[in-house]
Amino acid sequence: GYAKIDHHRSIRNGYPEVIYCEGKTDEHILGIIEKMSQKNCNILGTRVKKETYEKIKKIYPNCKYEELGRIIKIQNKPIENIGKGNIVVVTGGTSDIPVAEEAYHTAHFLGNNVKKLYDVGVAGIHRLLNNKELLFDARVIIAVAGMEGALASVVGGLVDVPVIAVPTSVGYGANFNGLSALLTMLNSCASGISVVNIDNGFGAGYLASMINKL
Amino acid sequence: GYAKIDHHRSIRNGYPEVIYCEGKTDEHILGIIEKMSQKNCNILGTRVKKETYEKIKKIYPNCKYEELGRIIKIQNKPIENIGKGNIVVVTGGTSDIPVAEEAYHTAHFLGNNVKKLYDVGVAGIHRLLNNKELLFDARVIIAVAGMEGALASVVGGLVDVPVIAVPTSVGYGANFNGLSALLTMLNSCASGISVVNIDNGFGAGYLASMINKL
Amino acid sequence: GYAKIDHHRSIRNGYPEVIYCEGKTDEHILGIIEKMSQKNCNILGTRVKKETYEKIKKIYPNCKYEELGRIIKIQNKPIENIGKGNIVVVTGGTSDIPVAEEAYHTAHFLGNNVKKLYDVGVAGIHRLLNNKELLFDARVIIAVAGMEGALASVVGGLVDVPVIAVPTSVGYGANFNGLSALLTMLNSCASGISVVNIDNGFGAGYLASMINKL
Amino acid sequence: GYAKIDHHRSIRNGYPEVIYCEGKTDEHILGIIEKMSQKNCNILGTRVKKETYEKIKKIYPNCKYEELGRIIKIQNKPIENIGKGNIVVVTGGTSDIPVAEEAYHTAHFLGNNVKKLYDVGVAGIHRLLNNKELLFDARVIIAVAGMEGALASVVGGLVDVPVIAVPTSVGYGANFNGLSALLTMLNSCASGISVVNIDNGFGAGYLASMINKL
Amino acid sequence: GYAKIDHHRSIRNGYPEVIYCEGKTDEHILGIIEKMSQKNCNILGTRVKKETYEKIKKIYPNCKYEELGRIIKIQNKPIENIGKGNIVVVTGGTSDIPVAEEAYHTAHFLGNNVKKLYDVGVAGIHRLLNNKELLFDARVIIAVAGMEGALASVVGGLVDVPVIAVPTSVGYGANFNGLSALLTMLNSCASGISVVNIDNGFGAGYLASMINKL
Amino acid sequence: GYAKIDHHRSIRNGYPEVIYCEGKTDEHILGIIEKMSQKNCNILGTRVKKETYEKIKKIYPNCKYEELGRIIKIQNKPIENIGKGNIVVVTGGTSDIPVAEEAYHTAHFLGNNVKKLYDVGVAGIHRLLNNKELLFDARVIIAVAGMEGALASVVGGLVDVPVIAVPTSVGYGANFNGLSALLTMLNSCASGISVVNIDNGFGAGYLASMINKL
Amino acid sequence: GYAKIDHHRSIRNGYPEVIYCEGKTDEHILGIIEKMSQKNCNILGTRVKKETYEKIKKIYPNCKYEELGRIIKIQNKPIENIGKGNIVVVTGGTSDIPVAEEAYHTAHFLGNNVKKLYDVGVAGIHRLLNNKELLFDARVIIAVAGMEGALASVVGGLVDVPVIAVPTSVGYGANFNGLSALLTMLNSCASGISVVNIDNGFGAGYLASMINKL
Amino acid sequence: GYAKIDHHRSIRNGYPEVIYCEGKTDEHILGIIEKMSQKNCNILGTRVKKETYEKIKKIYPNCKYEELGRIIKIQNKPIENIGKGNIVVVTGGTSDIPVAEEAYHTAHFLGNNVKKLYDVGVAGIHRLLNNKELLFDARVIIAVAGMEGALASVVGGLVDVPVIAVPTSVGYGANFNGLSALLTMLNSCASGISVVNIDNGFGAGYLASMINKL
Ligand SMILES: Nc1ncnc2c1ncn2[C@@H]1O[C@H](COP(=O)(O)O)[C@@H](O)[C@H]1O
Ligand SMILES: Nc1ncnc2c1ncn2[C@@H]1O[C@H](COP(=O)(O)O)[C@@H](O)[C@H]1O
Ligand SMILES: Nc1ncnc2c1ncn2[C@@H]1O[C@H](COP(=O)(O)O)[C@@H](O)[C@H]1O
Ligand SMILES: Nc1ncnc2c1ncn2[C@@H]1O[C@H](COP(=O)(O)O)[C@@H](O)[C@H]1O
Ligand SMILES: [Mg+2]
Ligand SMILES: [Mg+2]
Ligand SMILES: [Mg+2]
Ligand SMILES: [Mg+2]
Ligand SMILES: [Mg+2]
Ligand SMILES: [Mg+2]
Ligand SMILES: [Mg+2]
Ligand SMILES: [Mg+2]
């Protein structure tokens, strides 16, 4: 076996290792799941194709698939609620939803209350302002946006909790596959904002959970 | 003389040629002013150093200098008010003011009513929202912002008049000298926004005037 | 329903919301059309695949498809002519026509007289110069060009009305998917030019209409 | 006065507004301090030149200067200890220290226990491993590194608290002024890491404090 | 025949020319193999599709295919063991294995003892530290990593033999197809590291062999 | 002596080696001139500071300086007129003149009739069209332009002789130090155009001479 | 009819317009050919798919296809030999041949003697040096190379005729689709070299013909 | 003291730590030298300003300065000759010499025979070919070149020992501060070449020594 599964992590890091399925063969993924299952832990897989899920489902009937977020979940023991407050996932447009769902399901599976506020981008700012209570009720916010990615700054200016900004590759032309949103978010003049990789919903969900557990 | 001054432009384009002084020697600039003065037209110079202004002032005592915007104006005949409505110049921060002033004085000298709304960036969105009437009263808006440059999108989502977005080089690090604000503005999901070059306050003021004259 | 349709916009902004269909499923698009139809407003969809149109057509028989520009139009009430003058859409080559048509149909559907002047790029400048009257008769010009994108500068030097420049991704190699035309247009030494995103015919048509209504 | 000071923020956001002094004139900075002083709040200024500090000191004798971090602090009332645990600031090399100090003093002034672990970059990994206890004792970690910026990944793999990564512009050649460290940190395969702008020590310190207060 | 096969190289350079099969037609590849076979030398082909291999196999039954590394080997005479020590190939993740295998089989076919240490990336540093003896036993190390590519620096800080760093295109978003790992490796603050092209396992294996033969 | 002067070149290449003085010390330059002078050939130096010229002048009184083009010429024997037709140097603006002069003096010193047509950029196309005869009379054209660099395309569309395009770093913001003009020129849809490095007037003059001698 | 065919060009420019077929529909191409055929001129088409050729062939039986170079030629009248000397097309590797063939057939169809020297890249410099006579016998050289693109410099250092450098997109990883070869060629320290767009064999062949006709 | 000097390295890595002096204050550098001197080891400093050297010289009279390479050497014990063969440092031009000297003195101080072959760039290939024996006599070669950086490929094609390529920032315009040479070297089609950071003469000298000691 090639992969060195990192069993120490659940002790060291408090969470099980998550399987990043992009570019792995189905056989490879099944092999990793098998090894992890022996430990009876909960298993999360990201960037999973539907066909892959269907193969897994045959062997692990308790496997669930979140189609929009492309996530599989195999729950072998109860999810312990570790989060102390709410995590809110906000998106600029409807095209950002797949990335947002990756964040949502990651944070949820890791034991958090997570709420959604989708399609409230800055070009129609009243949609965001009409939902301020939801934002004010959050302990951590995940702001997901493509194109100009300005959502994170506006949200960051309204609240005083950490905002994790996720640039998405949504858009065309001079968005340069997410570069525009990435740079926008890195240069935010609002404070309390930090950024993860383009389209990295998983990373945002994981970090939000880590903060919410503190 | 090297420079081919474009006297047709005032007829063809309706405006006098403007002198872009960056990288021209004082002698060169004085030579161009001299030729233009023979036509008795109004003269505008951009990106003018204070020392250059002082040399010009000695020969053309009616020359005025706008220090923040680095503009000289030599008014040889009355400015005809050609603008049909208000132009409003908005900035995200205080560091964007020099670029905004270049736009302001350009549009003003070309015969427009111009109003200012400075330091209302998206990180404290109430500052912009508290001044909505000013925006709603505009026929053309110039939105000047550096760093994440999100101001243009928010303004564009509030109004239904043309918004000319001017990215500035204000910021550091991953702003890449204005690239971040430029990309943000080009990818705006609000409609009615178009973009000029980084720090090009002049271009925005000129275009705003051209639209306001329609 | 995920999408928050922005019904205020037709009041606030004077136009109905337009559906950006790239990356949306047919179901999602049909759902949005359904909600919008209840308001009896005119509906425009951009970046629509032919198969999507055919599905829509079955339910909304008055739906029309502009194949080159990939636009659908559902006209539920008469189009009010809001434009005060002509909008002229100019292209450099024949490959830029799809983007130009997106601009053309957007501006037309929003209530403007729009004229076309295609394939008059700078490499054969007489083609443009032979059509000067058409340009001189415009209130707003949309200049669409890929490769070196020089058309906008030449047009901008000939007229004194606003020129909206649309860089296209047409070309290969060092065009870097439209970056070359984008930079050319941003750096234009002609005045009165502003730029929208690469291939954003819709944005140019919308802005042209907004200006033409002033 | 141009600048719109954001007095609501101390209520809304829980912290006083911080003065970003880069590119502001001394007069401008003094004006802002004066207005803020009337509120009797604690004042922090970043990117302050020594000469500027000296001018401020004359008027506000309780002003202190942190030379390496280029920070001024005017403490008008006791600093309330709001942090629940330790913040640890780690650097890869000695050249990253100025950015680290900006983070350190920001977090400290905002009411946190902050510890330092400098010059423990990955090229001599034992230096980091020998100080694991310090890391394990942190509630939030700030990892500051230039050149290849790998420190954040290694730290992130060792701990299970949030790691705020600060890329620095330290290095030469293909570091492209911090781009290399920025990309490294954004692509970290360790979880729980998020990134702020190149050289943005302030942003990291502020966010760390926000998290530590939760 | 178009291709000018470089028969002098085996004399001049000590190794047979290797066939880079990407973008060559099967006919072209077979033609080159035929010419080379007349010299009775050992033949290596890189970036070979499985179908191409199958065609070659029919004509040259002693042809072997390394599927992961996409390499064909036709051994016409014994491989002379020219390497004086061990070459160790290390990878950050499991997705980097194809590139590592290209390096492995190249070095092995050229007459070296090669060892593997896969999936020991910096996010779980203990996996690397637990295998230090293997590293200390190497004469040359090949470090293969994508995403943030930090592995090379950590390895370089542990050993005092040459480390050849191979950035891979593994990752997404701001990895920009391998640029992030490439810049990381070029900016390594550990000494004794040099870099080859993104995904260039062959180049690393060839150079490692060249050094190991010294 | 470090530098290996390439005396064969005047035989092999038909021209004397030219001294590129950027980044060389005065001593170094004088040393090279001394060696070349022993051959009694004509000497050209580019990118020469005025102070350097003044030092050279003291030792070589026949040395001449072209201030705008920053070129020194030491003529030790008559210049043979090798050019068969005219070379015309065209510029877009007045700021491009220094680069144009480098091209002009290079081509002239190498034995060509060279004509100038400066400040005829595309934003006022009549300036170029009014001078068509000059263009039609050329055997080779050098088109020098910064900012959007569209001049080369327009010229290339008018003539049927080779056009050597020289992008300049003139401009600001999104010109990215000449990148915009470079990309424009590389993507020209006019035929017969090729490009040299940004600001490389020398290279254009040399190549024009080489072609004009054919 | 959308396309404005440029019949003046054959008078103005001395050559018939060439059809750039990339991204044009078969119908569009056939329409252009039809119009051109009425003039009885020779027709060249570049970037033509084989299936397109087959459709054309049915209507224009004298149409010929150059498969490697993807060029169609319809010769309606004899090709006049306008070239005064030889054009030599050189490539670095075998993968550059398609681009070279585009150049070859363009120059040949325009009436030139053209010779080929393929696969003589700098990594085995003797292959080039063994063919010096061919180079010395050329009036214009076209140097086609991908990857590091160094061929143009070496050729340029050997000859004293114009070298037209064509960077190709051949390679992978840090070749960034031809950027590496493009930058290499633009920065060549050999004189007499100019560059066309990445993969632009047509442009090089056309320009070479233009020079060879002088 | 901030800096954690890595005394283990001389044991672990076989060499003393080298001081990278760029961006360190003189006091800081002197402090590090003092600590190192207590160990009586040989000390190397890179990127040292002449004024810094002069201060060091006063305290450590045995300190020597290599002006071109900007290196200081404090030799406290005899240099052990560890290199088994020759290292040859080759440069393309004379402007690359400072970087080459950094490599030369580093390798020499670490105990190697080092030879120089400067100014033999590819534009006059005979200069390199005339010195083939020197190359054939090397055990490791360091190829230093700016502009198009093609030297490494040509050298790599001639020899069968490792070539360490050092791109330099020498050049202008589209060299983008060394990017062109860097990409050229990374894409070399010659085998046995690896690359270090732009201008990193130290890294090349250190690695060459490490290989030469094997
Ligand atoms: N969508 C994702 N994006 C980034 N990192 C991920 C993602 N999903 C999982 N990971 C991380 O990738 C690691 C597994 O990588 P691997 O060894 O290639 O399976 C996990 O421990 C996660 O931290
Ligand atoms: N082709 C297009 N390019 C850019 N923006 C568009 C395009 N078509 C529609 N839009 C804008 O996208 C908005 C709808 O986005 P969404 O909420 O994702 O449907 C509309 O209000 C338009 O302003
Ligand atoms: N492969 C090619 N690359 C670049 N330009 C070309 C190519 N083939 C033809 N052209 C040019 O493109 C022009 C025709 O463009 P179009 O009007 O789009 O057909 C011709 O006049 C040629 O100058
Ligand atoms: N010119 C140089 N370029 C890159 N790395 C260097 C250079 N000089 C010294 N170094 C490395 O930098 C390390 C010292 O870094 P520092 O701790 O900042 O002094 C040394 O161990 C060397 O490996
Ligand atoms: Mg929406
Ligand atoms: Mg403010
Ligand atoms: Mg055409
Ligand atoms: Mg150190
Ligand atoms: Mg793993
Ligand atoms: Mg002018
Ligand atoms: Mg070959
Ligand atoms: Mg030389």
Does the distance separating the beta carbons of A124 and C23 come in below 8 Å?
A: no
Q: Which of B13-17, D209-213, F168-172, H89-93 has the lowest mean pLDDT?
A: B13-17
pLDDT at E101 over 60: yes
- Token duo for residue B202: 């002049």
Q: For ligand 11, a single-atom ion, which residues have Cβ within 5 Å?
A: G 119
Q: What length does chain A have?
A: 214
Report pLDDT for H65.
98
Lowest-pLDDT range, A134-143, B79-88, D61-70, F31-40?
A: F31-40
Other Cβ atoms within 10 Å of D172 Cβ, number: 22
CA distance G138 to G88: 6
The answer to whether F4 contacts H174, with C-beta atoms less than 8 Å apart, is no
Per-residue pLDDT at F9 exceeds 60 = no
Q: What count of other Cβ atoms lies within 10 Å of the Cβ of residue A57?
A: 15
Q: β-strands E113-117, E86-91: how paired?
A: parallel
Residues within 5 Å of ion ligand 12, judged at the Cβ atom: H 119
Residue from H5, H7, H20 to probe ligand 4 pocket by mutation (most atoms less than 8 Å from CB): H20
The tokens describing D56, both together, are 């401020």
Tell me if ipTM is over 0.90.
Answer: yes
Say how far apart CA E96 and CA E147 lie, in whole Å: 10
Contacts of D132-135 spanning 24+ positions with Cβ under 8 A: D132/D158, D134/D88, D135/D88, D135/D90, D135/D159
Using alpha carbons, select from E184, E190, E124, E183 the residue that is nearest to residue E155.
E190
Whether the per-residue pLDDT at A147 is higher than 70: the answer is yes
Q: Do chains F and D have 3 or more beta-carbon pairs under 8 angstroms?
A: no
pLDDT of D3 over the 90 cut? no
Q: Which of D187, D197, D211 sits opposite A162 (nearest CB)?
A: D211
Which atom, in ligand 4's list, is nearest to the CA of H206? 23
A/C touch flag: 3 or more CB pairs below 8 Å: yes
| DSSP H helices in A73-178 | 97-109, 126-129, 132-136, 151-158
Q: Do C196 and B197 touch (CB under 8 A)?
A: no
Do residue C119 and residue G23 have CB atoms under 8 angstroms apart? Answer: no
The upper half-sphere exposure of residue F74, i.e. CA atoms within 13 Å in the direction of its Cβ, equals: 25
Question: Chain-wide mean pLDDT for chain C?
Answer: 92
Residues of chain C with C-beta less than 8 angstroms from the C-beta of A172: 22, 197-200
Q: Nearest 5°: phi and psi at A25? A: -75, 160
Among the partner residues E94, E126, E174, nearest to A197 by beta-carbon distance: E174
Identify the residue with better confidence: H174 or C13: H174
Structural tokens at position E91: 């990878």
Instruction: Give the confidence band of D91 by pLDDT, cuts at 50, 70, 90.
Output: very high
Alpha-carbon span D122 to D135, nearest angstrom: 15
Ligand 4 pocket, mutate which of H2, H6, H8, H18 (most atoms under 8 A from CB): H18
Kindly list the distances between the CA atom of residue C204 and the CA atoms of A146, C171, C182, C194, in Å, as whole numbers in the listed order. Answer: 20, 20, 14, 10
Provide mean pLDDT across the span E14-30: 84
Tell me: pLDDT of A205 over 90: yes
**Residue G130 to residue E18: CA distance in whole angstroms:** 22
| Orientation of helix F26-37 relative to helix F50-59, angle to 10° | 40
> What tokens does A109 get?
């599976």
Strand ranges in E4-99 using DSSP code E only, listed in sequence order: 19-20, 43-46, 63-66, 71-74, 86-91
User: From the CA of F3, how far away is ligand 12's center (Å)?
Assistant: 6
Site from C172, C179, C180 to mutate, G interface, most G CB atoms within 10 angstroms: C172
Distance CA H189, CA G146 (A): 9
Q: Is residue C40 very low, low, confident or very high in pLDDT (cuts 50, 70, 90)?
A: confident
pTM: 0.94
Sign of dihedral through CA atoms B7, B11, B16, B21? negative
Specify the pLDDT at position D214. 95
Tokens of H174: 């589209």
Tell whether the torsion through CA atoms of F168, F169, F174 and F180 is positive or negative. Answer: positive
**In the predicted model, is pLDDT for residue F40 greater than 90?**
no
Q: What is the pLDDT of residues G152-186, one digit of tens each?
A: 999 999 999 999 999 999 999 999 999 999 999 99
The minimal CB distance from G154 to the residues H154, H171, H174 is found for: H154
Beta bridge partners of G108: none
- Best of A94, A148, A154, A191 to substitute, by most chain B Cβ atoms within 10 angstroms, is A148
Residues with Cβ within 8 Å of residue F22, at least 6 apart in sequence: F46, F47, H95, H172
Within 6 A (CB) of ligand 4 lie D 93-95; E 189, 191; H 17-20, 46-47, 200, 202-203
C-alpha of F141 from chain center: 11
- For the segment C44-54, the average pLDDT, to the nearest whole number, is 97
The reply to whether G27 touches chain C by the CB within 8 Å rule is: no
Tokens at G54, concatenated: 């087959």
| F99-130 burial: b if 16+ Cβ within 10 Å, else e | bbbbbbbbbbbbbbbbebbbbbbbbbbebbee
Q: Is G136 on the interface with H (CB under 8 A)?
A: no
Chains H and E touching, counted as 3 or more CB pairs less than 8 Å apart: yes
Ligand nearest to the CA of C146: 3
For β-strands B71-74 and B86-91, DSSP reports them as unpaired
Q: What is the pLDDT of residues C64-77, one digit of tens each?
A: 999 999 999 999 98
Encode D125-183 in three state secondary structure: CHHHHCCHHHHHCEEEEEEEECCCCCHHHHHHHHCCCCEEEEECCCCCHHHHHHHHHHH
Q: Which of H92, H154, H180 sits opposite G184 (nearest CB)?
A: H180
For ligand 2, atom 15, the nearest C-alpha belongs to C20
Hey, what are B159's tokens? 């109004």
pLDDT digits (tens, 9 = 90+) for E107-121: 999 999 999 999 999
Contact G144, G168 (CB under 8 A): yes
SS3 C116: strand
> pLDDT tens digit string along A66-124?
999 999 999 998 999 999 999 999 999 999 999 999 999 999 999 999 999 999 998 88
Give phi and psi for H65, each to the nearest 5.
-120, 130
pLDDT score for B199:
98
pLDDT over 70 at E26, yes or no:
yes
**In this structure, what token pair is assigned to residue G41?**
């001129």
Neighbours of chain F (3+ CB pairs under 8 A): B, C, G, H
B125 vs D107, more confident: D107
Average pLDDT, chain A: 92
- pLDDT value for E9: 47
Question: Tokens for G84?
Answer: 């005064």
Confidence of residue B133 (pLDDT cuts 50, 70, 90): very high
Ligand 8: centre distance to CA H110 (Å): 19
pLDDT at B189: 85
- Residue D48 pLDDT greater than 50, yes or no: yes
- Please identify which residue in the block is written with the tokens 């069993």: A7
Per the CB < 8 A criterion, the answer to whether F164 and F88 are in contact is: no
Query: Minimal Cα distance from D192: which residue of A?
Result: A207
End-to-end CA separation in angstroms for chain H: 36
Report the b/e string of B130-161 with b at 16+ CB within 10 A. Answer: eeeebbeebbbbbbbbbbbbbbbbbbbbbbbb
**What is the number of other CB atoms lying within 10 angstroms of the CB of residue G140?**
30
Of the candidates A138, F209, G187, the residue with the CA atom closest to the CA atom of residue H174 = G187
* CA E187 to ligand 12 centroid distance, Å: 30
Q: What is the mean pLDDT of chain E?
A: 91
* Closest to C188 (Cα-Cα) out of B24, F125, A158: F125
**H and D touch per CB criterion (3+ pairs under 8 A):** yes
Residue C1, pLDDT score: 46
From residue G142, give the alpha-carbon distance in Å to each of C129, E59, G88, G124. 35, 38, 6, 19
> At what angle are helices H201-213 and H97-109 packed, to 10 degrees?
40
CB C184 within 8 A of CB F180: yes
Which residue intervals of chain C are DSSP H helices? 8-12, 26-37, 50-59, 97-109, 126-129, 132-136, 151-158, 179-186, 201-213
- Predicted pLDDT of residue A27: 93
CB neighbours (10 Å) of residue A11?
8
Q: Could you say which DSSP state residue A15 is in? A: S
E205 touches chain H (CB under 8 A): no
Considering only residues 28 to 87 of chain D, which have any Cβ-Cβ distance to chain H shorter than 8 Å? none
Residues B105, B74: contact at Cβ < 8 Å?
no
Burial of F17 (0-12, 13-18, 19+ CB in 10 A): buried
Secondary structure letter of residue A17 according to DSSP:
P
Span between the terminal Cα atoms of chain F, in Å: 36
Task: Summarize the confidence of residues G133-151 as an average pLDDT.
Answer: 95
Does E124 reach chain A within 8 Å, measured CB to CB?
Answer: yes
Contact D172 H22 (CB under 8 A): yes
Substitution site in A20, A30, A42 for ligand 1 pocket (most atoms within 8 Å of beta carbon): A20
Distance from CA of F123 to the nearest CA of B (A): 10
* Nearest CB neighbour to E127, from listed A4, A178, A179: A4
pLDDT of residue G36: 87
Q: Do A173 and C200 touch (CB under 8 A)?
A: yes
Q: Among the listed ranges A32-36, B10-14, F99-103, F139-143, which one has the minimum average pLDDT value?
A: B10-14
Do residue A196 and residue D197 have CB atoms under 8 angstroms apart?
Answer: no
